[in-house]
Structure 1
């Protein structure tokens, strides 16, 4: 299979308590198609995964938020978990980083609880999305049309519910990044 994402750089923004499969699976799919991925953390230090019911492995960071610019990346992936998005949605540097992807029309992918970050970044109003069910009302309150589907794509924004949706999520992430910028992506 051709590596359709050669030359593409993808930021994966996460903090402690990310759902392990929601980082590992998209990263493997992206790298399998030739994309260069960088795990970006608030402080550039390693982060500990949550593996469904208990703490998982520690993942090394490639960069800190202070060391990156959204202009250096073609797309952004936001893994879920409960603790990770709750931390990032209160970090103004993280929110600004996320906003820049929307302003530039670049693909953004968020799974599980990660849409919390997008709500706080102020980029979801008027969008079609999905998420873990416990975040549905938060999204609706923020002006989203919410669907209970494995994956929802809206002009470069890819969202999914839980790890059981990773195959559909990964396929759409690869497709949206291959398509490039989306003129209807907005902040």
Structure 2
């Protein structure tokens, strides 16, 4: 084979190798572009993440609902068909952001009323108990007694009872019954009158 033909063949082989390398580079670049598009789609899926919450109480359809991440309590209530006419919506912060796994309970107006009635009943019962103790000559614990119970002690009125409670809150519990004399307005004479009716 003549020399020029050998040179021409070598040049053709080199040209084919360069063309093949260029094609391979372009093909690889296209594949990377496709992978980036897929990653972008994953990001969009993450942005549309949801949280699951359990809504109970005075709503039309209580139960477990899935709502968009960052949604508010109002969104969860709407997903359950809205509030019942008996719902006490003022007791719930409808603007609060919900977290996954959270329980949201909507109280009824009657429940709120029952809680207030029970609190009033407990207060009346406490006052009645204090009166019964006084009548029965019970011993009053000066570290734990309420103002009403302290008021049953001889020489102690409502103002002095409040002073004893304030002393306990600022100085701490009494270590001995005699320490009650540290309260302003309680001297030896008052202490002797109540000595047999108090304990710690």
- Give the TM-score, by structure 2 length: 0.21
- Give the TM-score, by structure 1 length: 0.22
Considering fraction of residues, name the structure with more helix: 2
Whose radius of gyration is greater, 1 or 2? 2
Structure with larger RCO (C-alpha < 8 A, sep 6+): 1
